[in-house]
Each structure stands twice: as C-alpha cells, then as structure tokens.
C-alpha cells in the first residue's frame, strides 16, 4: 500500500495542473492531490523578483482568453478592478533603424521604397501562385513563401522565426499556425503602400490584461489559494522521483509514495517517460524537439524615455542583438519595479563602464525584459549573454550608452518552446494514447507539446478538460480540436463553461 492514496493525482502546479485541480475541487466527484517541486504555484507562468525589487515573468505573458470558464476562474482569484491593468497592445518590429508597426507583413508601407518594391513583388507572386496551388505547404517555410512571397520571407519572416524557434523554418511544420501568424491581404497592403497608411491592430491579444501586483505569477498563486491546503503538496515534499505506471504509484523525492487511479501529469512528457523508466516511450519521445529560453532583465534609473513611450513588446529580426523580443515590463504595471523613493546603487553604465558614484540614490525606475532562444542549431554564448544583450539594447537604440543600470537578471529555462517540428504529430499521436492507456493524461505546454494551445488560457483548459474527461467522459476540445478552439470569432469565442460530453458543432475528425 502507498503512503497516500487518491483517485486523481495531478503533477505540476502551473496553469494546466491548477486547471485540473480547480475542476476536480469544483465537481467534488473524486479524491485528488496536486504536487509541485516549487514552493509556489505558477510553473512556466511564474514571476521572479530581483534583490533590487524588479519583477520578471518567465518570458512575455499576457492574459487574453478563448474560454468563459477560464475568465470566471481568474476573476474569482483576482476579483477587484484594482487587481488589473488593461492595455492596448502597442507593438513594433525593429528594422533598419525604423519601428515598423506589428504585424510587419501588413505594414510594409513603413519600409524604405526599395524594400517596399521587393516585398510587393513577392506578395504578388505569392498571390498568383496561391490561385493555382492544389497542395498544402510541406513545411513552415513553404507556408511563409505562399503567404508572403520571398521579399517579406527574407527581410523578416525567416530571420525572425529562426531567432524565436532556434531552428530553420524548413524544419517546422505548418499545421500549428492558426491565428498565430497574420496572413497579409494583398489589396489592403497595396492600398496602404500607395496611401502611406498603417494597418490597424490584429490578433487575439490586441487588448490584454495584466495583474497590478506580483506579475503573471501572482495570478496563479491566487488561483492556487482558492484550493484547499490539504489537497496541495508543494516544495521539497512535492518533488517527483519515479512514476510506476504498472502499480499506479508515484514515489516522491522524500520517499513518500502516492497511489492513484488516474494521473494528470503536466511535466514535460520527455521527463515523464524518463521518470517512468520506460525505454520504448523514452525512445519515442526523442522525436520531440524544444528550444531553451533565456530571460534577461535590465532595470534602469530615470524617467521612461520618450522613444520608449507606451510600447508593450517589440520584435527584433536583425542580427544586431541576440534577443528576438523585448517587453517594456515597467509599462505593464507601476509595481513591476521599485517605487521612485527606493534608493538603489548604480551597478554599471550601459556601455559597461563604472559609474562615477556607487552611492544608493532614488529613482524613478523602468525595466526591459528580453528573450533569447537556444538550441543545438542555434548556440548561445551563455557566459556573455547578459553583456551581449545590453549591447544589443544600445545597438537598437532602446537604451543609451550612458544609461544607469541598477539591476540585472538572467535565468535559463531549459524547456522554453515546444517546437512544432515536422516529426511532432507522428510522435504525439503514438505517445499520448499509449500513456492514456496506462491512465496517464500528459497535458500542458510540454505535457501535450502543442504550442498552438500553449498559452495560459489553453494550458489551464487542458487541465480542466482532462479532469472533465476523467470524471464524466467529456470531449477534450483543446487537445483534440485546437483549430476549432482558436478560430472562434470574438463574439462567440468564449467557449461555454460546462463540460462538453457530446461532439456538438465540432469538425468530424480530431487532429491526429
């Protein structure tokens, strides 16, 4: 007999695990326990605080939702108006010293004339090709060429996506795209070029919410706080050592054994099968690829510069900086950095020189958060990455050489992005059912390895829907029908609260 026995064990207290726990607690139809090796909830949606008091998320997270149930749970955890700030997305692409409004492919009217001609030629060629094409693109690169043509592909799409994914676009499939990449309308782009106009906001996150305090991680700590303490096992006593699928027992690192009937695991599935010591599944999981993410934070003294303004996040396709994205994190909340009267010493000037004085003095302060990807196909000089990123900020005119840096942050997340590689679907359609046959539901950003349903709302609902499936056999919409979930229009996009136990209004075949 195990030391502890439950109907459903949930591994991981990120959004997916908390979604499962929340639903299990709500329906009250099974005994359950949630475990996590961290002392606080959040997983890959957590927030770190530097010794100087600057907050940094695990990369650029914002809240926008496809689900009413998700909205309701978040509102329950943080119910007051003063718990949130709502922002209009203000995003740009840095190209040849210009700030081109996002999405780049809709705003080539902002480019130098010779680049406009190159891009328009490619768009026209692509539009003509699309009219006669009768096959689907074989990979992401072919999709880019068909949608945008060679001009935009070479100027922006290929270099930017290589910086994000850390693999060439030819190594990626195209099925994941959905609402992630804006397909340009040639007529609109042509009109904007001729009239020198800018395209408006696009995409599901044109407006987004951000918590007033404690960063994105604060949301998930608040959600975890709505769950009973006796059902939570966090910190050292929540660290998993082994998973025995045959006996349905999980051994914790402190030696405690937990028996279960069903297991919802949000661990990276490659780590899960290693913990199971299952050679067949370990070998199978080697066909899944991922990139690591470095999050770099730079805290600065001074008023936020006019050139930065109300910008939210910014994209960098060029090779004059290591990062692919920068977030002006201090713009999301005034509590993401120390208050003006906090006294901090200047650690260095942006050009690396020593400050004239290291005496602590008051602010105000502002901050930038940067993301850098890494893989075997895109190595990174980790030892010098912080220095290289600060130089990149100077190169892109985000900061000036004489700016005072009062805080720096650098953390590497080994599993950063689940790569939609060409091999992915073949692995998942074999691996996930084999685990489920053992009563193991592997779900979440790296549990089910589908980036297209890897946002916070998707991840949360992957857990909710796994719990619903276990309790009453409901359809797991988000896992099996990602295109359906993502294609809902704004007026109807918040999928209803209750579990879905019939295939109402669904396409006839789930994605394999």
Q: 29-58, pLDDT tens digit by residue?
A: 899 999 999 999 999 999 999 999 999 998
pLDDT: which is higher, 291 or 499: 291
- Residue 203: inside a domain, yes or no? no
Domain CATH code at residue 378: 3.30.9
Separation CA 211–CA 392 (nearest Å): 29
| CB proximity list for 165: less than 8 A, separation 6 or greater | 172, 291, 373, 417, 419
pLDDT at 193: 87
Q: Judge whether residue 108 has pLDDT over 50.
A: yes
Rounded Cα–Cα distance for residues 46 and 54 (Å): 14
Same domain, 304 and 365: yes
**For the segment 370-380, what is each residue's pLDDT rounded down to a tens digit?**
999 999 999 99
Within 13 Å and on the Cβ side, how many CA atoms surround 492? 6
Q: Give the pLDDT band (50/70/90) at residue 59.
A: confident
Do 52 and 343 meet the contact criterion of CB atoms below 8 Å apart? no
What is the 8-class DSSP label of residue 305?
P
Cβ proximity of 47 and 14 under 8 Å: no
Q: Is residue 90 part of a domain?
A: no
Is the same domain home to 249 and 313? no
pLDDT in tens, 381-406: 999 999 999 999 999 999 999 999 99
In the predicted model, is pLDDT for residue 81 greater than 80? yes
**Distance (Å, whole) CA 301 – CA 364:** 6
Radius of gyration of the chain (CA): 24
Alpha-carbon distance 482 to 487, whole Å? 8
What's the pLDDT score for residue 153?
A: 96
Residue 109 domain boundaries: 105-195
More confident of the two residues 184 and 343: 343
Which residue, among 357, 262, 256, has the nearest Cα to 301 in the 3D structure?
A: 357
In a domain, 59, yes or no: no
pLDDT > 70: what percent of the chain?
A: 93
The residues, any chain, with a CB within 8 Å of residue 28's CB and separated by 6 or more, are none
Band (pLDDT 50/70/90 cuts) for residue 497 is very low
Same domain, 280 and 309: no
Distance separating alpha carbons of residues 269 and 274, to the nearest angstrom: 9
Domain assignment present for residue 282? The answer is yes
Are residue 297 and residue 407 in the same domain, yes or no?
yes
Kindly give, in sequence order, each residue whose CB lies less than 8 Å from that of residue 489, ignoring residues fewer than 6 positions away: none
Residue 229 DSSP symbol: G
Where residue 361 falls among pLDDT bands split at 50, 70, 90?
A: very high
Residue 1, helix vs strand vs coil? coil
Residue 414 makes CB contacts below 8 A (sequence gap 6+) with 292
Position 89 in a domain: no
**Are residue 385 and residue 350 in the same domain, yes or no?**
yes
DSSP-based three-state secondary structure for 236: helix
Q: With respect to residue 283, please indicate whether it lies within any of the assigned structural domains.
A: yes
**Which of the 8 DSSP states describes residue 504?**
T
User: Which pLDDT band holds residue 150 (cuts at 50, 70, 90)?
Assistant: very high
Show Cβ contacts of residue 393 under 8 Å, excluding neighbours closer than 6 positions: 298, 321, 326, 350, 368, 370, 399
Between the alpha carbon of residue 38 and those of residues 42, 272, 463, 482, the distances in Å are 9, 17, 19, 29
Identify whether 189 is part of a domain.
Answer: yes
Residue 201 pLDDT > 70: no
Return d(Cα 292, Cα 277) in angstroms, integer.
Answer: 24
Is it the case that residue 115 has pLDDT exceeding 50?
yes
- Split at pLDDT 50, 70, 90, the class of 323 is very high
Q: Which tops the pLDDT comparison, 10 or 131?
A: 10
283/295 same-domain check: no
Mean of the per-residue pLDDT values for the chain? 90
The DSSP element (H or E) to which 448 belongs, if any, is none
Would you say residue 56 lies in a domain? no
Mean pLDDT calculated for residue range 77-85? 94
Does 257 share its domain with 307?
no
Task: Provide the number of structural domains found in the chain.
Answer: 3
Please choose, from the candidates 269, 209, 258, the residue with its C-alpha nearest in 3D space to the C-alpha of residue 85: 209
- Shared domain check, 433 and 414: no
Cα angle value 15/452/275 (rounded, 5°): 55
Last residue of a domain, one of 135, 166, 195: 195
């Amino acid at each position: 007999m195990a030391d502890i026995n439950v109907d459903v064990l949930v591994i991981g207290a990120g959004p997916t695990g908390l979604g499962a726990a929340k639903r299990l607690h709500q329906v009250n139809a099974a005994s359950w326990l949630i475990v996590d090796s961290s002392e606080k909830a959040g997983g890959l949606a957590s927030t770190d605080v530097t010794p100087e008091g600057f907050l940094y998320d695990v990369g650029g997270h914002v809240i926008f939702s496809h689900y009413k149930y998700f909205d309701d749970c978040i509102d329950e955890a943080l119910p007051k108006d003063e718990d949130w700030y709502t922002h209009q997305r203000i995003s740009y692409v840095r190209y040849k010293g210009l700030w081109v409004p996002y999405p780049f492919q809709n705003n080539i009217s902002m480019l130098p004339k010779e680049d406009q001609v190159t891009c328009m030629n490619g768009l026209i060629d692509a539009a003509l090709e699309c009219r006669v094409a009768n096959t689907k693109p074989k990979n992401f690169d072919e999709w880019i060429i068909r949608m945008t043509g060679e001009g935009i592909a070479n100027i922006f799409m290929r270099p930017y996506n290589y910086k994000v994914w850390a693999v060439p676009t030819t190594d990626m499939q195209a099925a994941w795209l959905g609402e992630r990449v804006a397909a340009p309308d040639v007529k609109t782009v042509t009109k904007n070029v001729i009239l020198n106009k800018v395209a408006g906001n696009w995409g599901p996150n044109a407006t987004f919410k951000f918590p007033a305090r404690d960063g994105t991680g604060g949301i998930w700590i608040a959600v975890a706080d709505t769950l009973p303490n006796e059902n939570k096992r966090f910190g050292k006593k929540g660290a998993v050592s082994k998973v025995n699928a045959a006996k349905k027992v999980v051994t914790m690192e402190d030696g405690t054994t937990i028996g279960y009937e069903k297991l919802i695991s949000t661990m990276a599935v490659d780590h899960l099968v290693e913990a199971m010591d299952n050679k067949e599944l370990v070998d199978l999981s080697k066909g899944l690829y991922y990139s690591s993410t470095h999050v770099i934070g730079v805290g600065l003294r001074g008023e936020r510069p006019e050139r930065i303004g109300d910008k939210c996040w910014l994209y960098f396709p060029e090779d004059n900086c290591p990062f692919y994205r920068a977030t002006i994190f201090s713009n999301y909340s005034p509590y993401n950095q120390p208050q003006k009267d906090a006294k901090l010493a200047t650690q260095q000037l942006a050009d690396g020189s020593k400050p004239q004085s290291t005496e602590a003095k008051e602010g105000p302060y502002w901050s930038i958060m940067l993301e850098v990807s890494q893989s075997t196909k895109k190595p990174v000089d980790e030892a010098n990455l912080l220095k290289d990123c600060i130089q990149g900020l100077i190169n892109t005119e985000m900061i000036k050489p004489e700016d005072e840096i009062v805080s720096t942050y650098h953390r590497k997340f080994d599993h950063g992005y689940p790569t939609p590689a060409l091999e992915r679907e073949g692995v998942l359609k074999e691996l996930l059912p084999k685990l489920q046959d053992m009563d193991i539901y592997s779900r979440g950003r790296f549990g089910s390895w589908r980036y297209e349903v890897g946002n916070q709302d998707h991840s949360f609902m992957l857990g909710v829907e796994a719990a619903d499936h276990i309790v009453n056999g409901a359809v797991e919409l988000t896992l099996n029908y990602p295109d359906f979930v993502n294609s809902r229009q704004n007026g109807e996009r918040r999928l209803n609260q209750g579990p879905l136990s019939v295939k109402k209004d669904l396409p006839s075949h789930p994605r394999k």
